[in-house]
Amino acid sequence: AQSVTQLGSHVSVSEGALVLLRCNYSSSVPPYLFWYVQYPNQGLQLLLKYTTGATLVKGINGFEAEFKKSETSFHLTKPSAHMSDAAEYFCAVTGRAGTALIFGKGTTLSVSS
């Protein structure tokens, strides 16, 4: 069974500041890990994913995440926040391709000027 915990339901940063959104997972099998972004009244858009291989993965819009097995974490970062990054971010896990994603509760990112 899998589960996801996203620490912090709401994160606020200033434009140009570092963005750090935290995700810890639980999985009884090697996980596939994902970060999705959701803008108001829209569906989920894939930011990045980890399957196997390199533990630092780069995604769209300057985001990246590092898979740390020993810490069961997959935190999302971006060096410099932009106003357009304001959205809801979801971390998700699955144990096998083609099966249900298990999502965290999401983190709302606010960016102020």
For other proteins, the binding residues (CB under 8 A) are 4, 32, 34, 36, 41-46, 49, 51, 90, 92, 94, 97-101, 103-106
78 or 104: CB nearest other proteins = 104
**Cα–Cα distance for residue pair 104/25, rounded to 1 Å:** 9
**Cβ 40 to other proteins shortest distance, Å:** 11
Residue 51: CB atoms within 10 A of its CB come to 12
Nearer to other proteins, 36 or 74 (CB): 36
Distance CA 36, CA 103 (A): 10
* Secondary structure (3-state) at 12: strand
The identity of residue 50, as a single letter, is Y
CB of 24 to other proteins, least distance (A): 14
- Minimum CB separation of residue 90 from other proteins in Å reads 5
